[in-house]
Each structure stands twice: as structure tokens, then as C-alpha cells.
Amino acid sequence: MNIAVLVKLAPDTEAALKIDADRLKIATVDINYVLNPYDEYAVEEGLRWKEKFGGTTTVFSLGREEAVKALRNALAMGADEAVHIVSPGGLDMLGKAKALAAALQGRGFDVIFAGKQSVDDDCGAVGPMTAYYLSIPHISTVVKLDCDGSRITAWREFEGGAEKFECPLPVLITAQKGLNEPRYASLKGIMFSKKKEIAVVEAAPAQAKIEILKLNYPPVRQAGKIVGQGVEAVPKLLQLLREEAKVL
């Protein structure tokens, strides 16, 4: 099985973010970057498929020099090959997906895994879009996945239920929490990841269809009032919810 995984580096979800002087992006100093949490599920799934069916798992990341860190993390978990896609300028979602698809194209992948969404852009777009440009079907936010070697069955959740899809390979799957339990990197994996050579390809520039106007902090929620201590505070709480907040 020829397996690809799309990974990206994202700020740690705990990181305190500062807006850059240009008011368009975050200031990158003092931020701890990690492998996007959903991509850990994608990498894990790629490794499980390799263990089950044989073959190789190749990880792809598009981005600046730091993207290499995401690739090395995935190599340390057990991926075999890594490709770093460098882009000459900023890309929007379509541009990113086109660049990824161009790098994946013609390499005969049977399955491509991506994360459900990145925890910085929060879009959940790159996976389905990349599948479109590769002319293959996708199934997103998958929580359960089986493959018999040529066809897959996949479950995804929606509000109040779940739906099961069937599909022939090749397919692109985006991983939702619950799909698996990502492994930790092994010592051997870490050693391998350090010396493994990473292939570099260049993305074609693309005209962005979306323009970022500004970045702001969300309005601070005013800390409200502590109504009281223990069960005695319940009547007062209800009164406030009815009369002040008017939600009951």
C-alpha cells in the first residue's frame, strides 16, 4: 500500500498568542510549535495501514522552514519518507490544496490521510480540496475506518448521528479524534528522523481569492459575578438568570 499523510505545524494550543505589528498575523516569537493534533491521528492511521498492508508512508508538509519540524515528528513516529513543499508566497486554502495536490500527483498513492482541521486556521478545508484536485473521493472527520485492501468503510459523525460510507481506493480521509490513539515516537524513530533526508519541492505561486484584512483579539468576556457559595446560592442564581440575563 502506498500511503501519504498531510501534516502541518501549528502553535501549541496552550500558547499565548500575540498579534504581529502588521495586524495580519501572529508574532511567532516565544511560541511552541507542535504537530497539529489532528495530524497525529492521520500519521498514526498511515502507520497502521503500513503495518497491516505493507508498503511505505510518506509525509508531506507545505510551509516555511519550520514545517520540517512537523515532518521530523512524523518520521520519528514511524513514517518512511518526507517531502517539504516550499511556497514562494502566502497561499489561501485553494492555493495550499493545489500545491499539495501537485506534489502528490502521479505518485500512485492508494490512500491519503489528513487531519480534520488545523488548530490555527481552523478550516477543515485542505483535505477535501486536495482530494478534488487529485480527482479522488474524500471522506472527512472519520472516527472509524476499515479496509479490505481495495475498498474502505468509514464512519463519520454528524449532529445527532453517524453515517457510514463505502468507497474504493484511492481515497483521501481526514482524521477526527477517536479514530485511533497516536503512538509516541520511539528512540529508534527519533534517531532515524534526525538523519533522514527530506525531499524539497517548490509550489507554483497562486493568486489568493481571499484577503486577510485584520487580526484581532476577541472581545474579552467580562468576568461576571460570583453569586455565592454552595446550595444557598441557587435561588439567587435562578433569579439572575431570569431577571437579569433573561435566559430562563
Partner 1 sequence: MNILTYIESREGKIRVAGLEALSAGRRLVDAAGGKLTALLLGSGIDGLTEIVRGCGADAIYLADHPDLALYSPEAYCETAATAMLKSNAQIFLLSATALGRDLAPLAAAKLDAGLLTDCTEAALENGQLVVKRPVYGGRLIMTLAAASLPVVVSLRPKIFPVVKCEVAEPTIEKLTLNLDGVIRARCVETKAEAGGKLDVTEADVVVSGGRGLRSPDNFHLIEELAAALRGAVGASRPVVDIGWRPHSEQVGQTGKVVSPTLYIAAGISGAIQHLAGMSSSKVIVAINKDPEAPIFKVADYGIVGDALEILPVLTQAVKALER
Ligand X SMILES: Cc1cc2nc3c(=O)[nH]c(=O)nc-3n(C[C@H](O)[C@H](O)[C@H](O)COP(=O)(O)OP(=O)(O)OC[C@H]3O[C@@H](n4cnc5c(N)ncnc54)[C@H](O)[C@@H]3O)c2cc1C
According to the binding rule CB under 6 A, does residue 125 interact with ligand AMP?
yes
Q: Which does 115 bind (CB under 5 to 8 A by kind): ligand AMP, partner 1, ligand X, none?
A: ligand AMP
Q: Which residues, at least 6 apart from 189, have a Cβ–Cβ distance to it below 8 Å?
A: 75, 76, 77, 78
According to the binding rule CB under 6 A, does residue 11 interact with ligand X?
no
Rg (CA), the chain: 22
According to the binding rule CB under 8 A, does residue 21 interact with partner 1?
no
Query: How many CA atoms, within 13 angstroms, populate the side-chain half-sphere of residue 246?
Result: 0
| b/e 1-17 (16+ beta carbons within 10 angstroms → b) | bbbbbbbbbbbeeeeee
Give the span between the Cα atoms of 201 and 105, in whole angstroms.
Answer: 13
According to the binding rule CB under 8 A, does residue 160 interact with partner 1?
yes
According to the binding rule CB under 8 A, does residue 204 interact with partner 1?
no
DSSP secondary structure letter of residue 3: E
According to the binding rule CB under 8 A, does residue 92 interact with partner 1?
yes
Shortest gap between Cβ of 175 and ligand AMP (angstroms)?
Answer: 8
Name 153's bridge partners: 146, 166
Give the span between the Cα atoms of 139 and 215, in whole angstroms.
Answer: 31
According to the binding rule CB under 8 A, does residue 55 interact with partner 1?
no
Q: Which residues, at least 6 apart from 146, have a Cβ–Cβ distance to it below 8 Å?
A: 152, 153, 154
According to the binding rule CB under 6 A, does residue 123 interact with ligand AMP?
yes
Which residues, 30 to 89, sit near ligand X by CB under 6 A?
A: 37
CA proximity to 24, closest of 214, 162, 197: 214
Applying CB under 6 A, what is the total number of residues that bind ligand X? 2
Shortest gap between Cβ of 219 and partner 1 (angstroms)?
Answer: 8
Give 122 or 197: the residue with its C-beta nearer to ligand X.
Answer: 122
Shortest gap between Cβ of 230 and ligand X (angstroms)?
Answer: 10
Instruction: Name which position in 35, 39, 82, 171 contacts ligand AMP (CB under 6 A).
Output: 39
Calculate the alpha carbon distances from 135 to 108, 123, 149, 170, 219 in Å: 13, 21, 20, 10, 42
Give 42 or 75: the residue with its C-beta nearer to ligand AMP.
Answer: 42
According to the binding rule CB under 8 A, does residue 150 interact with partner 1?
no
Shortest gap between Cβ of 200 and ligand AMP (angstroms)?
Answer: 14
Chain contacts with ligand AMP (rule: CB under 6 A): 6-8, 36, 38-39, 42, 60-63, 96, 100, 114-115, 117-118, 121, 123-127
Chain contacts with ligand X (rule: CB under 6 A): 13, 37
